[in-house]
């Protein structure tokens, strides 16, 4: 307890130092008053006399105020403004106040500190990303968020009809408001499964009751889709932690960040008498580079990271759910979270965007059970469209809601964590990734007052990836997305997940198995339509596996990972046994999904004539957003009825 109290006191001291830096900077800026800046936000909207934002639009998402600076400001001055305004993303405007660029804390760490540039002489136009993408405040919220997801943007500037910047959309902040709805759906499905399992135990075997068996299978499928994933589901080679010693200079740390394509490094102390593994003593991020180094006027080439790191950061175990980790990061106001095993080993650093996209993937998976076939678009679009309005208002009652049925669905979203071309980082903005795609502002005058064209367009469904699923030797199940034409990329992701598996991290040698298992030594296989086990050794094999899965209506490829040297199941006889088990499990899974829907149960609901405006938004008079809770309630009533009748019947005879 005393150790924990000491850690808290140390962090409080660092927070006081940060506040002292901000106050000093604010006083300096107040004395100078030579830097022309603008903080665009909701106040300008109020002054313009505009009405409340239309539901389902970008404006309804309440974009954050955008800090804008001129092109000729120095990096040091810009860093001071970032520190004073508590922001890590800045928009750059030209002499005519037209949007000309954008830069983030990551840009300052990568392009200034890592490259050894002098922040007092380097101007922001030299390091900014020019001509960023923008969106209008009247654009559909789902459409804007689809753009951010498909392009891996965290920030997206928002302009009004006149082309003036009115705010900045941050997908992580917007998403936090919808997080509670996912948790409630998961909790409801868990309660339903528990209730049905209790009824099964009372009735005995479900083998003689096909209705009960079908309902239980459906509830199990719903439970699996809405289960809250833990951090192991996102841990792979891309979350491997970057570490440094306490005496490493800030410049060397920034170079390591750029090399590892990360925005956070952990500061470790070597093993000692009390700890057999290197112990984490601090964390240092790109935001710290801006506030504690550049804005504070320190020399990155001489300053040791121990002076400016955050000491004893919050950590999480691998078993923590993604939702709990997101809430922990939101409450603590940080973007990166170290993951530690029970023995204190650092196994990963997860960032807020990786966890955000993992939850968006879960939302999308839930859509197959909660939305009807005539409703296109991702499930999370319905969550975001209800943000900004009272919970007492019906989420389907707004006649001003844009028609989103024509929007394309982007499918499974886990490729945003796994894409081989992704430069996904917590400070990424609308300009940092895929700069070669050009800007929507190119070819248009950026003069203030001119209309900025909308950037939105169709997002292709086919992105070259597919969902894969496998089980580790310790029993952990991983579901991820990978290229469907690249076996090396597939193996890299699997190897990254195996490295952190307890089967390898907690291995103890024995006379029967003296060799330490190698997580990179394995063979991949899958079960084809004929029930045969097929090895995956080339790109074509991966493509064939995906084609077979698609042809059979499966939304993922179930892989079998056969271990090599030192693995417990390395014998030839055990290989055949495992292959047979995998084939049988895959066949059972396909058969279970065919009978997953409880079709024998007929539920009669009085037919009503809904208003014309809401005809497409309701199913049997129930709003689609409330379909899952309603289904749970009806099924619970049916279960109670079946149970009561069976008890009465048994008592008579």
Report pLDDT digits (tens) over 412-431: 434 333 443 344 444 455 54
Phi/psi for 556 (5° steps) reads -160, 165
* Statement: residue 125 has pLDDT above 60: yes
pLDDT interval class at 208 (50, 70, 90):
low
Pairing of strands 243-244, 165-170: unpaired
pLDDT at 313: 93
Cα angle, residue 509 at apex, residues 275 and 560 outer, rounded to 5°: 105
Task: Give residue 460's pLDDT band: very low, low, confident or very high (50, 70, 90).
Answer: very low
User: Radius of gyration over alpha carbons of the chain, in Å?
Assistant: 27
Mean pLDDT of 351-355: 86
Q: How confident is the model at residue 562, as a pLDDT?
A: 84
Q: What is the pTM of this model?
A: 0.57
DSSP 531: S
Mean predicted confidence (pLDDT) in 171-177: 71
151 pLDDT tier (thresholds 50, 70, 90): confident
- The per-residue pLDDT of the chain, averaged, comes to 72
Tell me: pLDDT of 219 over 70. Answer: no
Most confident of 245-259, 321-335, 460-474, 534-548: 245-259
pLDDT at 637 over 60: yes
Q: Is residue 10 exposed (0-12), middle (13-18) or buried (19+ Cβ within 10 Å)?
A: middle
d(CA 526, CA 589): 14
Q: How far is CA 563 from CA 233, 511, 521, in A?
A: 20, 19, 6
pLDDT of residue 449 exceeding 70, the answer is no
pLDDT at 472: 86
Backbone angles phi, psi at 485, to 5 degrees: -135, 20
Tell me: pLDDT of 278 over 80.
yes
User: Who wins on pLDDT, 416 or 314?
Assistant: 314
Q: Are 258 and 109 spatial neighbours (Cβ–Cβ below 8 Å)?
A: yes
Query: What does the pLDDT read at residue 255?
Result: 96
Mean pLDDT of 369-378: 46
Distance CA 32, CA 19 (A): 20
- pLDDT of 329 strictly over 70: yes
Helix (H) or strand (E) holding 15: helix 2-32
Q: How confident is the model at residue 572 (pLDDT cuts 50, 70, 90)?
A: very low
Q: Is the pLDDT of residue 32 over 90?
A: no
pLDDT band at 165 (very low <50, low <70, confident <90, very high): confident
For residue 109, the 8-state DSSP code is I
């Amino acid at each position: 307890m005393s150790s924990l109290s000491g850690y808290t006191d140390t962090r409080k001291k660092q927070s006081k130092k940060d506040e002292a830096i901000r106050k000093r900077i604010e006083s300096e800026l107040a004395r100078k008053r030579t830097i022309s800046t603008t903080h665009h936000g909701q106040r300008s909207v109020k002054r313009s006399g505009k009405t409340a934002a239309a539901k389902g639009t970008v404006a309804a998402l309440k974009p954050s105020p955008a800090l804008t600076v001129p092109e000729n400001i120095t990096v040091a001055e810009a860093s001071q403004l970032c520190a004073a305004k508590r922001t890590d993303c800045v928009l750059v405007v030209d002499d005519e106040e037209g949007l000309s660029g954008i830069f983030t804390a990551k840009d300052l760490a990568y392009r200034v500190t890592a490259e050894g540039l002098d922040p007092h002489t380097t101007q922001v136009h030299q390091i900014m990303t020019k001509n960023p993408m923008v969106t209008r405040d009247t654009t559909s919220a789902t459409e804007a968020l689809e753009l951010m997801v498909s392009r891996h943007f965290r920030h997206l500037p928002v302009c009004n009809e006149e082309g003036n910047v009115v705010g900045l959309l941050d997908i992580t902040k917007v998403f936090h408001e919808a997080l509670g709805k996912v948790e409630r759906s998961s909790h409801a499905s868990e309660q339903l499964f528990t209730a049905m399992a209790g009824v099964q135990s009372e009735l005995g075997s479900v083998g003689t009751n096909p209705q009960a068996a079908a309902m239980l299978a459906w509830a199990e499928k719903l439970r699996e889709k809405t289960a809250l994933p833990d951090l192991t589901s996102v841990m792979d080679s891309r979350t491997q932690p970057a570490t440094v010693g306490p005496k490493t200079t800030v410049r060397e740390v920034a170079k390591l960040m750029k090399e590892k394509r990360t925005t956070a490094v952990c500061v470790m102390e070597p093993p000692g008498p009390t700890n057999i593994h290197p112990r984490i003593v601090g964390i240092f991020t790109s935001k710290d580079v801006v506030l504690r180094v550049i804005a504070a006027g320190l020399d990155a080439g001489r300053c040791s990271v121990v002076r400016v790191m955050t000491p004893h950061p919050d950590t999480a175990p691998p078993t923590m759910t993604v939702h709990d980790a997101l809430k922990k990061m939101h409450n603590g106001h940080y973007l990166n979270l170290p993951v530690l095993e029970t023995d204190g080993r650092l196994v990963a650093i997860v960032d807020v965007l990786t966890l955000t996209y993992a939850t968006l993937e879960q939302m999308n998976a839930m859509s197959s059970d909660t939305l009807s076939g005539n409703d296109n678009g991702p499930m999370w679009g319905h969550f975001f469209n209800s943000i900004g309005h009272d919970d007492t208002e019906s989420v389907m009652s707004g006649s001003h809601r844009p028609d989103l049925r024509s929007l394309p669905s982007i499918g499974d979203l886990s490729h945003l964590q796994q894409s081989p071309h992704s430069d996904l980082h917590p400070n990424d903005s609308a300009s940092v990734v895929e700069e070669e795609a050009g800007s929507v502002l190119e070819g248009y005058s950026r003069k203030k007052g001119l209309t900025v064209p909308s950037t939105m367009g169709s997002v292709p469904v086919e992105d070259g990836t597919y969902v894969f699923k496998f089980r580790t030797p310790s029993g952990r199940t991983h579901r991820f997305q990978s290229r469907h034409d690249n076996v090396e990329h597939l193996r890299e992701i699997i190897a990254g997940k195996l490295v952190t598996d307890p089967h390898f991290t907690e291995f103890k040698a024995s006379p029967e198995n003296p060799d330490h298992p190698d997580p990179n030594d394995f063979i991949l296989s899958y079960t084809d339509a004929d029930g045969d086990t097929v090895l995956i050794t080339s790109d074509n094999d991966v493509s064939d596996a995906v084609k077979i899965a698609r042809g059979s209506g499966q939304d993922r490829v179930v892989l079998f990972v056969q271990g090599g040297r030192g693995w417990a199941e390395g014998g030839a006889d055990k290989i055949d046994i495992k292959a047979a088990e995998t084939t049988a499990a895959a066949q059972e899974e396909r058969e279970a999904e065919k009978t997953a829907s409880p079709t024998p149960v007929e539920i009669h609901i009085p037919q009503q004539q809904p208003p014309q405006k809401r005809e497409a938004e309701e199913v049997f008079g129930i709003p689609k957003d409330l379909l899952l809770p309603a289904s749970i309630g009806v099924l619970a009533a049916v279960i109670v009825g079946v149970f009561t009748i069976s008890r009465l019947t048994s008592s008579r005879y």
